[in-house]
Amino acid sequence: MPRPPKILEPTKTYNLLLKEAQYDKLASAADQMQKSAREQVAVADLIREAIDIYISAWEEDEYYPEGEPNEVVEDKEA
């Protein structure tokens, strides 16, 4: 029996090279989270969540107080 899909929208596969220390920390965090969750938590789930958080911050208007989205704005006070 195949595993049910976790992502219910179109997907794209991407290979990612991580340092062993990075992967080990994520694996430990996933293991701890899985013990308190009612579902499987994998390293890939943590990476996808981190990417979603990064994209949300990048798209927020407050992140670019004087510029257009995706435009780098220098701090005038610096």
Higher pLDDT pick, 24 / 74: 24
Does 25 reside within a domain? yes
Residue 30 confidence (pLDDT) above 70: yes
Domain count, the chain: 1
pLDDT value for 74: 63
- The reported pTM is 0.70
pLDDT, tens digit (0-9, with 9 covering 90-100), for 44-73:
999 999 999 988 888 875 555 565 655 655
Does 53 reside within a domain? yes
Q: Do residues 30 and 46 touch, judged by C-beta distance below 8 A?
A: yes
Sign of CA dihedral 10, 54, 28, 24: positive
Domain extent, residue 53, equals 20-63
Does 4 reside within a domain? no
pLDDT value for 5: 85
